[in-house]
């Protein structure tokens, strides 16, 4: 494993998300870095720190106590795969939903492509369906045939 890549992933989730250091986004996300699987308020794919910051501010505003734990990492070449778990309380309206004060727990995966200590691309796959089910905005299961 290449420790500089593993450290970048750990720093990203700890400093940006867990500690809420918005300035760390500029430190770790390349100016042209693409966050595949995440979109701005207009549905446009996020590219670069200036587009990522409003997404971050809104999501962390909705979940100010967010805690992301990295469960596994795999490094190959310039890529690092991260499997993580997310725990938080919905205490703000940053996701367009009035605060429910409900706890959420869901999982996610991210593959980052890096260069010179920065994230160039990240493919994000987080279980937001489970999160919205826990918030009560989506039914938890569909009845087959109905």
CB 127 within 8 A of CB 107: yes
What are the φ/ψ torsions at residue 78 (nearest 5 degrees)?
Answer: -95, 15
DSSP code, position 44: P
More confident of the two residues 144 and 111: 111
Tokens found for residue 81: 């795969």
Q: Is residue 123 part of a domain?
A: yes
**Segments forming the whole domain that contains residue 81:** 3-135
Q: Is residue 141 part of a domain?
A: no
Reported pTM: 0.88
Question: What is the structure's pLDDT at 38?
Answer: 94
Q: Is residue 105 part of a domain?
A: yes
pLDDT above 80 (res 1): no
When mean pLDDT is compared across 9-13, 25-29, 94-98, the lowest value belongs to 94-98
| CA atoms within 13 Å, Cβ hemisphere of 143 | 1
CA gap 15, 74 in Å, rounded: 20
Q: Could you tell me which of 140, 8, 136 has the C-alpha nearest to residue 78?
A: 8
- Give the three-class secondary structure for 92: coil
CA gap 140, 113 in Å, rounded: 34
CATH of the domain at 37: 3.10.450.50
pLDDT digits (tens, 9 = 90+) for 86-124: 999 999 999 989 999 999 999 999 999 999 999 999 999
Number of folded domains in the chain?
Answer: 1
Residue 56 CA: distances (Å) to CA of 39, 46, 66, 103, 146: 11, 11, 11, 19, 38
């Amino acid at each position: 494993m290449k420790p500089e890549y593993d450290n970048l992933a750990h720093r990203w989730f700890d400093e940006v998300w867990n500690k809420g250091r918005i300035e760390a986004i500029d430190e770790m996300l390349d100016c042209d870095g693409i966050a595949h699987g995440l979109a701005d308020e207009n549905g446009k794919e996020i590219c670069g720190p200036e587009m990522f910051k409003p997404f971050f501010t809104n999501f962390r505003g909705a979940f100010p106590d967010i805690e992301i734990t990295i469960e596994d990492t795999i490094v190959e070449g310039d890529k690092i795969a991260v499997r993580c778990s997310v725990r938080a309380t919905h205490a703000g309206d940053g996701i367009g939903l009035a605060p429910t004060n409900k706890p959420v727990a869901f999982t996610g995966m991210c593959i980052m492509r890096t260069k010179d200590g920065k994230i160039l691309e990240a493919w994000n796959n987080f279980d937001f369906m489970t999160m919205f089910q826990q918030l009560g905005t989506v039914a938890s299961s569909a009845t087959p045939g109905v």
